[in-house]
Structure 1
Amino acid sequence: MRIRSHTDSVVIKGAHSSERLLDEVSLFLHSVRLRPAAPASGSDDDLKGRKVLMVDDDMRNLFALSKALRGRGMEVLMAQDGSKALRQLEENPDIELVLMDVMMPVMDGYEATQEIRKNPRHAHLPIISLTAKAMQGDREKSLASGANDYLPKPVDIPKLLSMMRVWLHR
């Protein structure tokens, strides 16, 4: 976390460094591809300073998406599973929105969303479910667990930003 202020990634020379370098280049190219071509000037001002919790067990997803959100001035906190997300919410009561992956170890996104909703303080906290393997019924299951909205992966960044604006301004 301390190194992040200097760079998003560091590849240390070692036995698997060439594989890691390829992964990092792939992530970078993926994040460049996700950026909208030409964002309207000032269009992200309403998102600056907003605090978002990203919950996903795949570091590549966390990296690519958090980079896109931070690039728009948002503060991004991360958790690798549902139980860590609950802890983050307790430690950071000013979180304004949650991006919740559905398939995770320890506590999946459905269960984590249900647990979040049990706390009256989080009754109106916007939660957007994200899933990599979009199956028929996922949207309904996400909404039934307490999510406000649903978006399949790979995440369409402009669509996600639009969705976030809707839920943050209610």
Structure 2
Amino acid sequence: LIVDDDIRNVFALTSVLEQHGLAVLYAENGREGIEVLEQHDDVTVVLMDIMMPEMDGYATTTAIRRMPQFAGLPIVALTAKAMKGDREKAIDCGASDYVTKPVDPDHLLAVMEQWMHGG
């Protein structure tokens, strides 16, 4: 599941992931992301943009972690805002890992692989 308000990022990530045989769902904001998760209990990893209107990636990750059925779901935070402390803040909110934008597809796939197969 990709949660990102920038449709260009969604298209770029979807293209890479589908080339690697992964089915992709997406949501444009945090609230929608939570709704999609609740409707699809087979999601294996979430790629969470941090900077989004309405409900940012930190708040969305925190909300997902409060839901017992998603306690172990890998959530990879994605952000262009690679400031000191951002990684720690994402992890503190419950993210499993953190990848900076622009996303290096090979690095992202390696991170996803690691979390989808045992963390």
TM range (shorter): over 0.9
Which residues of 2 match residues 48-63 of structure 1 at below 5 A?
Answer: 53-63=1-11
Q: Which residue of 2 aligns with 1:114?
A: 62
Give deviations 1:36-88, integer Å, cap 9, x for gaps.
Answer: xxxxxxxxxxxxxxxxx000000110011111101111000000110000000
Number of paired residues? 118
Q: Which runs of 4+ in 1 moved over 3 A?
A: none
Is residue 153 of structure 1 aligned with residue 101 of structure 2? yes
Q: Which residue of 2 aligns with 1:8?
A: none
Cα distance in structure 2, aligned partners of 1:65 and 1:123: 24
Amino acid at match of 1:131: T
Q: Which residue of 2 aligns with 1:28?
A: none
C-alpha RMSD over aligned residues:
0.5
Cα distance in structure 1, aligned partners of 2:80 and 2:10: 13
Give the alignment's TM-score, normalised by structure 2: 0.98
Q: Which residue of 1 aligns with 2:77?
A: 129
Cα distance in structure 1, aligned partners of 2:9 and 2:112: 17
- Secondary structure (helix, strand or coil) at the match of 1:76 reads coil
Unpaired runs of 5+ in structure 1?
A: 1-52
Cα distance in structure 2, aligned partners of 1:80 and 1:137: 25
Give deviations 1:124-160, integer Å, cap 9, x for gaps.
Answer: 0000000012111110000000000001000011111
Deviation at 1:168, TM superposition (A): 0.5
Amino acid at match of 1:108: D
Give the alignment's TM-score, normalised by structure 1: 0.69
Amino acid at match of 1:156: D
Unpaired runs of 5+ in structure 2?
A: none
